[in-house]
Structure 1
Amino acid sequence: MTPAVQRIALPTGVELDVAIAGAPDRPPVILLHGFPESHRTWRGILPDLARDRYVIAPDQRGFARSSKPEGVEAYAADRILADLIALADHLNIDRFTLVGHDWGGAIAWMAALARPDRVARLVIVNAPHPYLFQRALFDEPEQRKASQYITRFRDTTIDRGLTGAGLEKFLGSTFAHHVTHAIAGADKAAYLDEWSQPGAMTAMLNWYRASTVIVPTMDEAPPRPAFLDRPFPPVTQDTLVIWGMRDSALLPVLVDDLGPYVPKLTVEKIDAGHFVPWEKPEAVVAAMRRWHI
């Protein structure tokens, strides 16, 4: 099943390209992709879900051909969460299952915590819980080391080099490097086309620049965020966490202590890297179906 892609204008001031499949009278599932992708993240997963679900997969603000507002502040998490709720409202969806990978997972965690009235169930794919991620960046040297790329992405001087051959190099170092086989042919062409859209690379990287996550350098001892030493509210929804265990950017340690923060938790571990929806979509679908999505 090939999803129809609609251009939807939202009251948050952006227009998003949104892939939609399945019957609107079926239970709704919203899929949020991460960096540096688009709704194509879900191309091996969406058709199966659409057999008995109403599936919505937006290209989030800044990505592919969706709107790319100027300024780092336009990519703050609350703006992106507002897009999600506005999209659900536009499609007359009240409560929904929310699935997020990478940055999409970060928004999904936030949505589950902030809008339990709308997020009925939660599926997270290789995206760390916000409290555990910040804690690991202070207390887990290996995760701190693995996350130094975030500081590099926050450097605005890199944007000028991300054209032409620079995009090809970026593809190999930030995406193809993390999957088990090379990206070539139509896949490579599709990604390079999306990233070549005017303002796309700056907009995508602005997600990192707008984030409030503190990434200390390896020899730094900055003040510890106060919230790390206070109780953190639990996620109340039934939650499935799917984790590619060979993720070299977000290490498996980030799954180890989820229980106290996600009481209704199921964890499925897959032998794959960070881009597990791209690498092993069948395993992701199987995990979702076992969880009765």
Structure 2
Amino acid sequence: MTGFNLQTIPLPTGVSLDVAVAGDPANPAIILLHGFPESHRTWRHQIPELAKHYFVLAPDQRGFARSSKPAEVSDYTPDKMVGDLVALADHFTIGTFTLVGHDWGGAIAWMAALQRPDRVARLIIINAPHPFIFQKTMFDDLAQREASQYIRAFRNPDLEKHIEAIGLSAFFDGSFLRHTDFDTVAGEKAAYLDEWGQPGAMTAMLNWYRASALIVPAMDETPERPAFLNAPFPPVTQPTLVIWGMGDKALLPSQLDGLDRLVPDMTLVKVDAGHFVPWEAPEAVTAAMLEWLGKH
């Protein structure tokens, strides 16, 4: 299932991104941001349907697949990806656009919506925690803190040595498949291993976690609470659709608690699926997106 052209696009931010491009450029633009450990293929079921009505861009974000992989951890702070996003829209002379994000792509989407409301007209979030709520639950929800301990492991500078020792295939089976239905991705394993096996890809993907300012305490740790959790947090002003796979084992339902106060114009659609809901329940996700977009 394709329905798109994959183009390599150099950006003034210093990276080149592979971008799935589909639909008529005269139509309203929608940009789809994948998360860890994926690529534009996250959206393989949505792109053909969205392209019937929209101009669709789905980049392989920096560090992933065959897009550029800058060397430093500091090259992967979220502001860099927001810069890539805006530069990509500029490349196609797109003014405002609908922004869709899953997982880490959703984290970038939240930030872009907050920082660039002049560009992000509508927001669709799929199993991606709001930055305020996610940090808050690291302190107030021990179940979420426990579910997020993998982030501490991903930040370990020796993790790549472990992966090299066991091999990418074993790492795929022991990490990624714990969060999804094996039958759903069994036939996709070769594509993932191809993307993960690109030179520098695994380190680059993990550097997203290493560059993040998110504090993930150990289970027996009581670090100082970040001051911003006790201050007002700016609301998201755009109309926002949140699609949530309720079987997500990494991001628990507590991520939805109080979200409506931070996102006043929010529509919530709950789906019976796990974390990788765009392809675990593609029909439900695509239908929710198209229905909401049609109303907004």
Shorter-chain TM-score above 0.5: yes
Give distance in 2, aligned partners of 1:174 and 1:62. Answer: 19
Offset at 1:149? 0.3
Matching residue of 1:184: 186
Deviation digits for residues 60-112 of structure 1 (CA, Å, limit 9, x no counterpart): 00000000000100001111110000000001100000000000000000000
Aligned-partner Cα distance in 2 for 1:18–1:160: 30
Per the alignment, residue 146 of structure 1 pairs with 147
1:147-162 alignment, distance < 5 Å:
147-162=148-163
Aligned to 2:63: 62
Give the letter for the 2:94 counterpart.
I
Question: Alignment partner of 1:136: what SS?
Answer: helix
- Partner residue in 2 for 1:204: 205
Distance in 1, Cα, partners of 2:171 & 2:22: 31
Q: CA deviation at 1:2?
A: 1.8
Q: Which amino acid aligns with 1:29?
A: I
Structure 1 contact 32–60 (Cα < 8 Å) conserved: yes
Q: State the match for 1:39 in structure 2.
A: 40
Report how far residue 164 of structure 1 moved.
7.9
AA partner of residue 60 (structure 2): D
1:91 and 2:92 correspond: yes
Q: How many residues align?
A: 292
CA distance in structure 2 between the aligned counterparts of 1:136 and 1:169, rounded to whole angstroms: 31
Q: Given residue 50 of structure 2, which amino acid in structure 1 is its aligned partner?
A: L
SS in 2 for 1:64: coil
| Separation in structure 2 between the aligned mates of residue 164 and residue 59 of structure 1, nearest angstrom | 27
Q: Could you tell me the percent identity over the aligned residues? A: 64
1:179 Cα deviation from its structure 2 partner:
1.5
- Counterpart in the other structure of 1:234: 235
Say yes or no: does 1:115 pair with 2:116. yes
The structure 1 segments of at least 4 consecutive aligned residues displaced by more than 4 Å after TM superposition are none
Shift of 1:166: 2.2
Gap regions ≥5 residues in structure 2: none
The CA deviation at 1:259 is 1.0
Matches within 5 A, 1:268-279: 268-279=269-280
Aligned-residue offset at 1:178:
1.4
Task: Identify unmatched segments of 5+ residues in structure 1.
Answer: none
The question of 1:246 aligning with 2:247 is answered yes
Shift of 1:165: 4.8
1:193 aligned onto 2:194: yes
Q: CA RMSD in A?
A: 1.1
Structure 2 residue 49 is the aligned partner of structure 1 residue 48: yes
Q: How far apart in 2 are the matches of 1:262 and 1:115?
A: 15
Cα deviation per residue 1:122-179 (whole Å; 9 max; x = unaligned)? 0000000000000000000100000000000000101123248521122123322211
Residue 292 of structure 2 is matched in structure 1 by 291
Counterpart code for 2:67: S
Shift of 1:278: 1.6
Shift in Å at residue 257 of structure 1? 1.2
Aligned residue identity for 1:44 = H
Which AA in structure 2 matches 1:259? D
SS in 1 for 2:260: coil
Measured in 2, the distance between the counterparts of 1:278 and 1:178 equals: 13
Deviates more, 1:136-145 or 1:168-177: 168-177
SS at match of 1:184: helix
Inter-partner Cα distance in structure 1 for 2:271 and 2:60: 25
The residue that corresponds to 2:24 in the other structure is 23
Q: Contact 1:163–1:196 at 8 Å: present in 2 too?
A: no
- Distance across 2 between alignment mates of 1:208 and 1:78: 14
TM-fit CA distance, 1:292? 2.4
CA-CA distance at 1:181 after TM superposition: 3.3
Whether the aligned pair in 2 keeps the contact of 1:33 and 1:39 (CA below 8 Å) is yes
The 5 Å alignment of 1:73-88 reads 73-88=74-89
Rounded Cα–Cα distance in structure 1 between residues aligned with 2:224 and 2:177: 36
Which stretch of structure 1 is more off in the superposition, 281-290 or 18-27? 281-290
| 1:43 counterpart letter in structure 2 | R
